[in-house]
Amino acid sequence: MEALLSILNAEFLAASIRLATPLLFATLGGILCERSGVINIGLEGMMLVGALMGVFGSWYLNSPTLGFLVGVLSGALVALLHGFVCISLRSNQIVSGVAINLIAIGLTSFLIRIVFGLADQQRIVPHFNSYPFPVLGQIPFIGPAFFNQLTLVYIAFLMVPVSWFILFKSRWGLAITAAGEHPKSAASVGIDPQFVRHVCVVLSGAFAGAGGAFLSLGQLHFFQDEMVAGRGFIALAAVIFGRWNPVGGMIACLIFGAADALQFRGQAVGMGIPHQFMLMLPYALTLAILIIAGGKSKAPAAIGIPFRR
Amino acid sequence: MIEMEKITKVFPGGVVANREVDFKIASGQVHALLGENGSGKTTLMNILYGMHRATSGTISRSSQTLTIGSPSDAISHGIGMVHQHFMLVPTLTVAENVVLGTSAGPNRLCPFLNLREAEERIASLSREYRLDVDPRAEVWQLPVGAQQRVEIVKALYRDADVLILDEPTAVLTPQEANDLIDVLSNLASRGKSIVFISHKLNEVISLADEITVLRNGDMIGMVRKKDTDAKDLARMMVGRSIEPPELPNRSPGEPMLTVKSLCVEDDRKLEAVKDVSFTLRAGEILGVAGVDGNGQKELVEAIAGVRRAVSGSVETKHQGVSNREYARRIGHVTEDRLKTSVVLDFSLWENFGIKTCDTSPHASWLGMNIGSLKAATEAAISEFRIKSRGPDEKISSLSGGNQQKLVLARELGLKPDILLAAQPTRGLDVGAAEYVHQRLIEERQNGMAILLVSTELEEILAISDRVIVLYEGKIMGALAARKATREVLGLMMAGERLEEMERSPGERN
């Protein structure tokens, strides 16, 4: 118990928030995509591509910011493929997503070896550093917990109200919801549901790419094979647990982030629990949350169904 | 005002839906488009609304040619449409549904919604045209009639002056239909043009100023209401005169089916049939009236043994037999022909033999006698006058009427003492429906007990001995068909109990 209490401090909160951030990027993308009626199981693969391309971008353009943008764009590009297969060709969305995940694993491990060479795979690239807020960062406890983070963390959490506003208070959000709930009614008033879905899928890829690039440029500072390690799938769980609402998704991500932080801290402090067990924690929590949220949450009615006129 | 000239529509695959059809709508008029299922009414209106493109022909307004390539084009020309299956997003509010796809305010690019302004405008439209629509209600919570008025508001909000309604009364109770008729006449009196698609003669006559009749994609003619009557219109619609079916006198025999305090759940585990009891006798047709979705499906399925009842009992002479045998002893024409009556990929003989292929004479110890099944199918084809190329033809290439005849032939071929006929004439043309009615009456004369479920009151009144009305899974009352009127049945379909109406006839408003 004492050991447990010793880890619940400002540092733990800061770590929870930092670890929630890549999940949050991907979750916001997932929400956007699924609300428009397309399942994006490929978030994981899009994150992985974003992580790698972020590293490449940052190395060759010698700027983590430009590298991050490259990561975002590459995620969007992969998503464009998913959209083409699922929306234009009306193929199965699950199969396309699984294919993207598998291709991403192979492609990224291949490219990192080709580009950086076998010996220098885990080359440290220019990366982001934390940005403490001038005044807020000085507040005891709250400062180090909330206001001594990477700029991207603030951006990710700022995207929550922004996307909430777009989804629920704008004409675009209405069109997205209509495309995901009842695409025929959207079509009957002159909205092209396929176009709406394409835009949302591409944006979800951009968000996933951002999450991946955050992992590589904000946390690890290099690329490692399969470094996303299931976070794309945890984000999918957060989409469902958050009931397709950005605010709910953010809460889910914070819970997962905390579980992840607990796992790291627990390992460091050494609570007498095998570290393999701690490692399992975020994933076990995902399963538990899906079981709890399972029956109750209601997915967009037309999700997974290709639109035909 | 709007004129469609020589409209021809050929679908990919060569099906001609419209052949050189002329159609004119004047402002302030209610115009009915009358025709049987498959006569091309909906296609013609989908062309006007931009959902389909005509293969040839022109659309013009005040002698200016219009190009309508999409619903947005139609909307910008002041044309609005209320589809048979509503185009509403159930999870959004009325106001959100109404503004969906409109560009708000003077700045077209401004993405923000001004829902308050929209809500005010909807409320004022609702007041002006007496539509009784609450802009803040969520659509899924509204009854069907209200959803339909939301669709009308949606069109008016887009400044439509031509309003097309596709089979608007199909989903309504008779009283709701009367309310809708009031709303539409009110709209017409304020200068809007109304087009409504229908195959029901009585509502066409009570509402329309002008009537255009289509048959098999051809325009048969345009008449003014004052120059025509129901008989004329029926002849134009069907191509020959039709006689209403007659139910000969017959006193019912012994009880064949007794349902006691039956409760059944639907697929969502909600109670769909609540404490239903009735008796069906030999040589009797018992009509079950009600608006679609009030427990009819679950009731029939529970009796047929394909859905488990929660409580209560169904008593027949066939207790204690296997499920398979029970299915052979109770005739069952299911309400969704294509989903539960036939296997579309199967041939006629396979569909015909699906219940009997494992019993004598069609089966021996292990094998199935395809020859005898085909011969039996052949016999059914000629007896029921099914238009087909023989037992090997796929059932999917038959028309709805001929498919239904095969289903009927299969179910009656088993010589059941009970027939459950759910919506037996839904989607059939007048000729096929006539045939089905004749057959049912014939079987009644031979002593079969028939449960006829239908949402069409005319059908129920024409060929039933007795009528029960289902509302939200409960029986609102039972009465002899010859004593029943549309008005009384309509009130029962809307949830009034017969006994309460009889108790206080003066207090009703």
pLDDT tens for each residue of B319-374: 889 888 898 899 999 988 888 899 989 999 999 999 888 887 888 777 888 999 99
Task: Give yes or no for B470 touching A (CB within 8 A).
Answer: no
Query: Would you state the pLDDT for residue A274?
Result: 80
Q: Which residue of chain A comes nearest to B70, CA vs CA?
A: A190
CB contact under 8 A, B91 and A187: no
Of B96, B101, B103, the CB nearest to A186: B101
Cα–Cα distance, A204 to A164 (Å, whole number): 15
CA torsion angle for B259, B260, B266, B272 (degrees, to 10)? 110
A168 contact B CB<8A: no
- Is A290 a member of any domain? yes
- Sign of the alpha-carbon dihedral angle for A29, A35, A36, A37: positive
Give the pLDDT confidence score for residue A226 in this predicted structure.
93
- Return the axis-axis angle of helices A64-83 and A193-213, rounded to nearest 10°: 140
- Distance from the Cα of B113 to chain A's closest Cα (Å) equals 5
Residue B1 three-state SS: coil
Cβ pair B100:A175 closer than 8 A: yes
Beta strand B255-265 with B309-315: parallel, antiparallel or unpaired? Answer: antiparallel
* Segment A217-244 mean pLDDT: 94
- For residue A95, being part of any structural domain is answered with yes
Q: Taken in order B92, B98, B100, B104, is the CA torsion positive or negative?
A: negative
- Answer for the pair B254, B282: CB distance below 8 angstroms, yes or no: yes
- Amino acid identity at A12: F
pLDDT at B107 over 60: no
Q: Is residue B298 scored above 90 in pLDDT?
A: yes
Share of chain A above pLDDT 70, in %: 95
B159 close to A (CB below 8 A) = no
Nearest CB among B87, B99, B113 relative to A185 is that of B87
Which residues in chain B have Cβ-Cβ distances shorter than 8 Å to A174? 92, 96, 99-100, 113
The answer for residues whose C-beta is within 8 angstroms of residue B501's C-beta and 6 or more apart is B488, B491, B492, B508
**Measured between CB atoms, does B84 come within 8 Å of chain A?**
no
Does the pLDDT value for residue B443 go beyond 80?
yes
Residue A306 maps to a domain? no
User: What SS3 state is found at B485?
Assistant: coil
Q: Does A187 touch chain B (CB under 8 A)?
A: yes
CA distance, residue A185 to nearest chain B CA (Å): 4
Range of the domain at A185: 2-128+151-294
Using CB atoms, which residue from B71, B90, B96 is nearest to A174?
B96
pLDDT band at A10 (very low <50, low <70, confident <90, very high): confident
DSSP per-residue string spanning A75-111: HHHHHHHHHIIIIIS---HHHHHHHHHHHHHHHHHHH
Which residues from A are below 8 Å from B104, CB to CB?
171
The pLDDT of residue B161 is above 60: yes
* Chain A interface includes B70 (CB < 8 A): yes
CATH number of the CATH domain containing A80: 1.10.3470
B87 contacts A190? CB cut-off 8 A: no
State mean pLDDT over B455-480. 93
Task: Give the single-character DSSP code of B104.
Answer: P
User: How many domains does one find in chain A?
Assistant: 1
* CA–CA separation, B418 and B251 (whole Å): 17
Mean pLDDT for all residues in chain A: 91
Chain B residues touching residue A163 (CB < 8 angstroms) = none
Q: Is residue A142 part of a domain?
A: no
The arithmetic mean of pLDDT across residues B176-202, rounded, is 89
A301 located within any domain: no
Question: CB A227: neighbour CB atoms within 10 A?
Answer: 19
Query: Domains plus CATH for chain B?
Result: 2-238 (3.40.50.300), 255-342+416-507 (3.40.50.300)
In this model, does residue B190 exceed pLDDT 80?
A: yes
Strands lying side by side in the sheet with B418-422: B330-333, B418-422, B449-453, B284-289, B466-471, B474-480
Give the model's pLDDT for residue B62: 85
For residue B8, the model assigns a pLDDT of 94
Tell me if B88 and A182 make a contact (CB, 8 A cut-off).
yes
Q: Is some CB atom of chain B closer than 8 A to the CB atom of A175?
A: yes
Mean pLDDT across chain B, nearest whole number?
89
Please check the confidence at residue B389 and state whether its pLDDT lies above 80: yes
pTM of the model: 0.79
| Amino acid of residue B504 | S
What is the spatial distance between Cα B50 and Cα B239, in angstroms, rounded to a whole number?
Answer: 30
The two three-digit tokens of residue A89, written as one number: 């060709």
CB distance from B421 to chain A under 8 Å? Answer: no
- Find all residues with CB under 8 Å of B321, minimum gap 6, and list them: B329
Q: What are phi and psi of B39, to 5 degrees?
A: -90, -5
Is the Cβ pair B92, A184 closer than 8 Å? no
Residue B506 scores a pLDDT above 70:
no
Record the tokens describing residue A229, joined without a space.
């390690």
Q: Domain for residue A244, yes or no?
A: yes
In chain A, which residues have their Cβ closer than 8 Å to the Cβ of B99?
171, 174
Residue B485 burial (CB < 10 Å; 0-12/13-18/19+)? Answer: exposed
| Interface-testing mutation among B96, B100, B269, with chain A (most A C-beta atoms within 10 A) | B100
A212 located within any domain: yes
Q: Concatenate the DSSP letters of all residues of A274-308 into one string.
A: -HHHHHHHHHHHHHHHHHHHTTT----TTTT----
Tokens 């079916």 correspond to B245
Is B415 a residue whose pLDDT tops 80?
A: yes
Determine the longest span between alpha carbons in chain A, in angstroms.
63
Q: Given an 8 Å threshold on Cβ–Cβ distance, is A166 in contact with B101?
A: no
pLDDT band at A3 (very low <50, low <70, confident <90, very high): low
Per-residue pLDDT, averaged over A222-235, amounts to 94
B206 touches A: beta carbon within 8 Å: no
Q: Are the Cβ atoms of B100 and A186 closer than 8 angstroms?
A: yes
Minimum distance, in Å, between the CA of residue B500 and any CA atom of chain A: 40
**Residue pointed to by tokens 């009465």:** B479
First vs last C-alpha separation in chain B:
40
DSSP conformational letter for B368 = B
Residue A182 forms contact with B (CB below 8 Å): yes
- B68 in contact with A, Cβ within 8 Å: no
pLDDT greater than 50 at residue B508 = no
Beta-carbon separation of A188 and B113 below 8 A: no
pLDDT of residue B262: 96
Looking only at Cα atoms, what is the longest distance across chain B?
79
Identity of the residue in A171, A172, A178 whose CB atom sits nearest the CB atom of B89? A178
Nearest-CA distance from B53 to chain A in Å?
Answer: 13
Sign, CA torsion B97/B103/B104/B109: positive
Asked if residue B190 lies in contact with residue B222, where contact means CB atoms within 8 angstroms, the answer is no
Tokens, residue A290: 């899906």
Q: Is the pLDDT of residue A2 over 70?
A: no
Q: Which residues contact B73 (CB under 8 A, 6 or more apart)?
A: B50, B66, B67
- Taking CB atoms and an 8 Å limit, are B103 and A171 in contact across chains? yes
Tell me the nearest-neighbour CA distance from A202 into chain B, angstroms.
19
A172 — contact with chain B (CB < 8 Å)?
yes
Q: Give A177's contacts in chain B (Cβ within 8 Å).
A: 89, 91-92
Asked if B108 reaches chain A (Cβ–Cβ under 8 Å), the answer is: no
- Structure-derived torsion over alpha carbons of residues B93, B98, B102, B103, reported in degrees to the nearest 10: -60
* C-beta atoms of B113 and A171 within 8 A: yes
The Cα A145–Cα A142 span in angstroms is: 5
* Class of residue B200 by CB neighbours under 10 A (exposed 0-12, middle 13-18, buried 19+): middle
Mean pLDDT calculated for residue range A233-258:
93
Amino acid present at A98:
V
B505 preceded by a cis bond (ω within 30 of 0)? no
Cα separation, A217 vs A115, in Å, equals 17
Nearest CA in chain B to A168: B113
Residue B58, Cβ neighbours under 10 Å: how many?
13
Using DSSP, state whether B77 is helix, strand or coil.
coil
Q: Is residue A299 part of a domain?
A: no
DSSP E strand stretches across chain A? 130-132, 148-150
Q: Do B90 and A181 touch (CB under 8 A)?
A: yes
Residue B103 sits at the chain A interface (C-beta within 8 Å): yes
Q: How confident is the model at residue B16 (pLDDT cuts 50, 70, 90)?
A: confident
DSSP B193-258: EEEEEE--HHHHHHH-SEEEEEETTEEEEEEEGGG--HHHHHHHHHSS-------------SEEEE
